[in-house]
Each structure stands twice: as C-alpha cells, then as structure tokens.
Amino acid sequence: SILPFAESLWLALGWNDLDELPGKYVKNLYNFSDDGRTWRAGYGPRIRFYNDSREQYDIPNKFNPSGSVDQLRYVVELLKKDPYTRQALITIHDPLKDSNIDLETKDQPCTRSIHFMLSPKNELNCYVTMRSNDLLWGFSAVNVFNFTFMQEYVARLLGVKIGKYYHIAHNFHIYEKFLPRIKEFAKYDLKEVSKLD
C-alpha cells in the first residue's frame, strides 16, 4: 500500500489537508474529518508548526507560519548540540486545541509524544506514547511505519545508527466490526507467510 509512505511524507511536510496526499489513496480518511478537508488533530502541523493559538491548524501548503515551533527541527538541532540529552521530545497533544470539554470532533489525537534518545552505542532510539491505539488500522497500517520512518530520517540527519523502537499504547484495541477480519488473519500459518518474503 502507498498509504504509509504518503502519510509519512504528509507528516514530515507538516500538512493536514487530506487532498494533498493521503486522501488521494484512501477515501475513508475523510470520514474522520470535521470539515471534510483537513484532520483537526493531524500530526504534521503539530510536529512542524506547533503554536499557542486556540485556532485549529489549517496548514495545507504554508511553510514557516509566524509564531510556530518546528518540533522536528528542534529535536534534530538539540541532539546535534547535546547527543545524550533526554529532552528531544515532540508533543502531539495540544491543550489549547484539545482540552475543551465542549469540543465536538471526530478527530482527537491518539499519539501523545515522540521521544528520541541516543543509546551509549550511538543508536537513535524512539519512544512513542499513545493514549489509545487501534491494532488493525492505526498500529499495523500506519503508526509504526510513520514513526519508525521518522526515526530513520532523524537518525540519518544526525549521522547515527537506528536503534530500538518502543511503542507504548495505554489502550490497545480492535473494533468489534473488524473481528471477522482479525479471525481470518489468525488462521494464517505464520511460518508459511514468512516464506512469502
């Protein structure tokens, strides 16, 4: 599937306009949009253009909006300056936009943070924390791919090896409507599937 690659590029660019990349490949993504065009909680703007405004992110093709923080650039520059810092962290949850009891939305961010740390072996480890994670569509379809891809390009920018990836989900689940599909997957003989590689 092209979706993991398209979504990873979309995140790296800091966009949340579905027409720009992922919506061209998976029309179902529009079902999670409040306005039919963007993802309110899309990770890209939160990673590349984090700001202190209550206004929701609407960054289809804009670069360097004033008053924003490029957290990805910060992480890379911080690790260059202090390779063994424990502060190279990207925050996804935005209290000004998300912590509103009256907010009605189809799109609350599941990922809370992405933390990068260099090991004593000079390998870049990545720690992702999620409040909730769907096994079928989130975890296996895009999340692990997106964040390990990010780990890879941060490691390359730093000129270090790729280390371990840690995925922490406080609630790991499958939706009942997808149980038949999960049961079908469970019938596969993993030894036979591994021979297909």
Active site residues: 110
Q: Where are the beta strands (DSSP E) in 41-136?
A: 50-51, 68-69, 89-91, 111-118, 123-130, 133-134
Torsion angles phi and psi, residue 120, rounded to 5: -60, -20
Question: How far is Cα 168 from Cα 160, in angstroms, rounded to an integer?
Answer: 24
Question: Residue 47, Cβ neighbours under 10 Å: how many?
Answer: 24
